[in-house]
Structure 1
């Protein structure tokens, strides 16, 4: 099969189209002929040598796909040949074929193309497990999303808005802020021009944010503590500005804050299957009703994978980057 090989870590130019062995599904897995695959920041981190595949997982990059089931393991019960699915993979998505555990596959929501469906799994699994499971965001609460124009950000804004929360977001340009507000953010704050702590505090009558989803880290860690509401929950899912900081923990104690973080890839198949079940029952109806849509910034062919990585790294996009296989 054609797939993207990474013979050595480094820049986007290290990614090469190669002829690699086609995987075979284990007893609890399905084999998917890939139509499209999402490109995500964890792929960039893996390309640079800092996010190795878990034991037993494919070393090929790619954590989410959409396509057709073409083979099933002997223990698979739900899926049959010809089913159209999107899936959270444990690796291997940048290829013509990939295997995925049965429980990490979901039906492609009605009304979505396979390209759009390929933008769902990694992002929606991440947002649901962190914002709604871990941070327990409730209707009527206030969510602050950093990186609001990213794939994660655009997903979090839409889901929180349609599930009854007030949403604030940060982004780096007027265009990105406008996109966040169109998706449901009450106010998007251009972090190059305004202090998000002051803006959110003023807009919420000094209440602050009940939940904060942060992928920036660095100086934002201390500022998140300042803008958090009493009993607030702060969840870090990445550290684009670094993870080593010095902070005063006294406000954490006085405000009864919860600081949390997580990665998705290393979690068990059972946990991922439970997240998939929640998404199908609570989020897929929103997608099929047209209330929530994946935001596609750009599409590339498999041979253009290096350009796809360069665009994602540039930060000059709103939404997701997709490879069409």
Structure 2
């Protein structure tokens, strides 16, 4: 099969289309003929060497796919061969064939294309666990979602609205902010200055109940300023750096909660639990006229390097995908 690997740690230019043996599913696993794969920030971090693949995991990049199940490992009864699924992977998605845990395969919602479905699993698992479980976002509350134009951001905005929450978001530039406003969010252009004062103004001085943060660094202090009493701060990433000063007096005075998680290292049983919760709570919200992935651009598998450049350059509004089915014979 054809697959994308990084020849060495580095920039997008180190990505290579190479030949690999087609994998075989082990116990509890399925083999998927990949139609499309999602491109995510952890892929970029793995390629650069900042976040290597866990021990024993393939060096083929890619954490989410959509495709057709063509073989079952021992003990697997569902999904059946021939089923179209979207799946969360430990790695290996940038390839013509990928191995997935049967427990992490989700049915594709009606009206969602394979390319759209391929960019959903990572976001669905991440948002369910962080926004709804750890963040406990409830109807009538307001959430601040940083990086609203990202794949996680555009999906998170829609899911929050679908459960009856109000959304404030940040993005860079007037064009992206206008598109986010058209989605029903209140958008703040972070290029114009700190966000805490605008958030407090939009909430009548109360602040937001939940912050979903990808920034880290110095932004944490602003996030604490604009959290309401008993507010929950959930960290997904730290694009501005992992170190931050925390005013504990403010945390104590307002009764704030600071939490975080990362998906890839979670044990198999925990990911399976999340898959069941996503299937029950989030999949019914997806489909035409409901919540749908925002697809920024799709690249052929052989152009994975260009896909990484596009994502790293901040050109995207929504998710980026690789169209594996477009490979020439």
TM-score (norm 1): 0.97
The answer for the alignment partner of 2:178 in structure 1 is: 178
The answer for the alignment partner of 2:322 in structure 1 is: 323
- What is the SS of the residue equivalent to 1:317? coil
The answer for the alignment partner of 1:214 in structure 2 is: 213
The answer for the alignment partner of 2:4 in structure 1 is: 4
Q: Number of aligned residue pairs: give it.
A: 324
The answer for the alignment partner of 1:296 in structure 2 is: 295
Q: Cα offset for 1:70?
A: 0.6
- What is the SS of the residue equivalent to 1:211? strand
Q: Cα offset for 1:55?
A: 2.7
Matches for 1:43-82 after TM superposition, within 5 Å: 43-82=43-82
Q: Cα offset for 1:301?
A: 0.5
Distance of 1:213 and 1:77 partners within structure 2: 37
The answer for the alignment partner of 1:266 in structure 2 is: 265
Distance of 1:225 and 1:5 partners within structure 2: 40
The answer for the alignment partner of 2:198 in structure 1 is: 199
Distance of 2:198 and 2:6 partners within structure 1: 44
The answer for the alignment partner of 1:246 in structure 2 is: 245
Distance of 2:42 and 2:169 partners within structure 1: 22
C-alpha RMSD over aligned residues: 1.1
Change (3 A) 1:282 1:290: farther
Matches for 1:33-112 after TM superposition, within 5 Å: 33-112=33-112
Q: Alpha-carbon deviations, 1:255-275, whole Å to 9, x = none? A: 111111111000112211222
2:29/2:102 contact within 8 Å kept? yes
1:16 aligns with 2:16: yes
Q: Alpha-carbon deviations, 1:187-229, whole Å to 9, x = none? A: 1111112532111111211110111000011111111111111
Distance of 2:242 and 2:199 partners within structure 1: 24
- What is the SS of the residue equivalent to 1:271? helix
Change (3 A) 1:170 1:295: same
Q: Any gaps of 5 or more consecutive residues in structure 2?
A: 325-329
2:145/2:168 contact within 8 Å kept? yes
Distance of 1:278 and 1:173 partners within structure 2: 35
The answer for the alignment partner of 1:312 in structure 2 is: 311
2:194/2:222 contact within 8 Å kept? no
1:104/1:269 contact within 8 Å kept? no
Moved more, 47-56 or 160-169: 47-56
1:25/1:72 contact within 8 Å kept? yes
TM-score (norm 2): 0.96
Q: Any gaps of 5 or more consecutive residues in structure 1?
A: none
Distance of 2:193 and 2:56 partners within structure 1: 46
Distance of 2:289 and 2:74 partners within structure 1: 36
2:34/2:96 contact within 8 Å kept? yes
